[in-house]
Chains A and B, each alone.
Chain A
Amino acid sequence: MVQYFKNIYNALATIAIGMKITLKHFFLPAVTIQYPEVKPALPERERNRLYVNIDDCIGCDQCSRACPVSCISIETVKGTADEDLGKTSNGKKKALWVTKFDIDFAKCCYCQLCVFPCPTECIYMTDVYEYSEYQRADLLYHFSNMTQDEVKTKKLNFEKAEAEKAALKAAAPKPEPVAKPAVISPSAPISKEKPAADNLTSEKKDNNGEVK
């Protein structure tokens, strides 16, 4: 019988406590952020859409290689000796025309791994996060500012320069390519006999020249 009245008292008392709490919240201001009109302040190091400052890009391809989902694709054309490509903002000399710098944001996972290797700090995260599109293809961003015609002429220039170089090489210091394989030759005499071997060595030389 005592329990019976205790139950009644408990029920009413706990309901009163609950109602007090809800009434308190009734007068508290809402915590809602009315999103499209009011935007929440983002944290300081938020990671959203990437941006590439193409004027600073030297086309080193390090971001593309760092990307775990391969969403960055870069194509470059080497500048010829007579062209001045300018300098980056931190004083590096540019040597490559960046003919293509595409980032597919449909693939991007916002890991920020591409940002750290960049030697000129030209790829970085912005605070833009509202860029959804109706077509997936529209999420492929082209950052290169070169037109198709420019790309074509640069390619032609490069090929011309290459051809000139090759011609020069063919004309003047012939013994060098011969000398090098001559050193290696005892170990691999068979490859030397093949006609393709000559081409291989010349390519190697080209690569060396590029690195310099």
Chain B
Amino acid sequence: MIYNYFFNLTGSEIASAFICCILPLVYVLTYVLYAVYGERKVSAFMQDRIGPNRCGYRGLLQTVADLLKMLQKEDIVPRNADKPFWVMAPIIVFTGCFTAFACIPFSSAFVGSAFSLGILIVMAASSISAVGLLMAGWSSNNKYSLIGSLRSVAQIVSYEIPTFLVVLVMIIILGTLDLTVISEKQTAYFWNWMILGGPGLSWQKFVYIPFMVSSFIIIYISTLAEVNRTPFDIPEAEAELVAGYHTEYTGMKFGMFFLSEYGNMFAVSAIVSILFFGGYQSPFGYLGNSLNLPWLVPIEQLVWFSIKCIFFVFVQMWLRWTLPRLRVDQLMATCWKYLIPIAFVNLIIIGLITVL
């Protein structure tokens, strides 16, 4: 474990805990820098454009330049805003987003907290952002912000239900809430991944597959809605609501909303890849094992984990540039009429199979 390593290195609990906190932050910040760049490039390529290509080699420094610009911006507080809540909102949203990373295992050697209720903590922490969004919209004293935040909260609250139902299905099958254990169970070959029925070779494995695929689709759609991405981006629908709940925010406060949006994208992709695609496990075994270099394995795991998460983030971007925005009633119909009943049926059938 990375904590023990740093504890041996520094001899101080506080210092090693601090380093363990900083590492995921560094990882997430670097990821956000290039996710924003990637988003712009992906959208450009899908629209047959070139995208940013002026800053650095092929525009690689574009987001760094944008970040520097954002830091220099004046911090404007609207006169009629409820100032304490207004200032607190982006911090809460970002904290909620970043807390989720505490329990996500990046590799077998690097888990922020190997907490036995990991998945619950992740889901709970990512729900905190709903409070932050509501605060941001309400305290801005702006009708667009208010409508945006109300929509956002309604959406997050209703789409959490199918997400949790699918997570429950996975908990029933795997019998654990610990994300590290969930990753460990889907050991190093892709036919052990939960999307293909999980580890082992019993008859249940093959029965599980259709339910796993439908569960995966449900959780992917509902997490997409939870992070307010297109086609579920009515909280920040540019054409109707300017920018939704962060209309009034400037500078680094806006930057924090932005950061947490991309951070959340990564967090839900991480959840999906841990639950269904083996987390940090390699699909083809490890080079470190075959070369007899044990220190290489965690690094490979980190790489595989990043590849999986970034692939799902890419699919989110891909969907964004494919689908138009849903209407509010369509959004609610998708959730309550389709995702939740199917998730319930999945839950019951999987429960029965597990009992048998």
- A-side interface residues toward B, CB under 8 Å? 7-8, 12, 15, 18-19, 21-23, 25-32, 34
Which among A12, A15, A34 is the interface contact of B322 at CB below 8 angstroms? A15
Q: Is the CB of B323 within 8 A of A26?
A: no
Which among A7, A18, A28, A31 is the interface contact of B323 at CB below 8 angstroms? A18
A145 CB to closest chain B CB (Å) equals: 42
Tell me, in angstroms, the Cα distance from A40 to B321 when the chains sit together: 28
A-B contact pairs, 18 of them (CB 8 A): A7-B338, A12-B217, A15-B319, A15-B322, A18-B323, A19-B318, A19-B319, A22-B46, A22-B318, A22-B321, A22-B322, A25-B46, A25-B47, A27-B45, A29-B48, A30-B44, A30-B45, A32-B48
- B-side interface residues toward A, CB under 8 Å? 42, 44-50, 217, 318-319, 321-323, 338, 342
Tell me, in angstroms, the Cα distance from A8 to B47 when the chains sit together: 28
Tell me, in angstroms, the Cα distance from A21 to B322 when the chains sit together: 8
Q: Chain A residues with Cβ under 8 A from B50's Cβ?
A: 30, 32, 34
Which among B42, B217, B338, B342 is the interface contact of A26 at CB below 8 angstroms? B42
Q: How many A-B residue pairs have CB under 8 A?
A: 40
A4 CB to closest chain B CB (Å) equals: 8
Closest 7 CB pairs of A and B: A18-B322, A22-B322, A30-B50, A32-B50, A22-B46, A26-B45, A31-B48
- Nearest-neighbor residue (CB-CB) of B342 within chain A: A8
Q: Chain A residues with Cβ under 8 A from B44's Cβ?
A: 30
Q: Chain B residues with Cβ under 8 A from A22's Cβ?
A: 46, 318, 321-322
Q: Chain B residues with Cβ under 8 A from A25's Cβ?
A: 45-48
Q: Chain A residues with Cβ under 8 A from B48's Cβ?
A: 25, 28-32
Q: Chain A residues with Cβ under 8 A from B319's Cβ?
A: 15, 19
Q: Is the CB of A19 within 8 A of B322?
A: yes
- Nearest-neighbor residue (CB-CB) of A19 within chain B: B322
- Nearest-neighbor residue (CB-CB) of B231 within chain A: A15
Q: Is the CB of B49 within 8 A of A32?
A: yes
19 additional A-B residue pairs with CB within 8 Å, beyond A7-B338, A30-B48: A8-B338, A12-B217, A15-B319, A15-B322, A18-B322, A19-B318, A19-B319, A19-B322, A21-B322, A22-B321, A25-B45, A25-B46, A25-B47, A26-B318, A28-B48, A29-B48, A30-B45, A31-B49, A32-B48
Tell me, in angstroms, the Cα distance from A31 to B50 when the chains sit together: 8
Tell me, in angstroms, the Cα distance from A29 to B50 when the chains sit together: 9
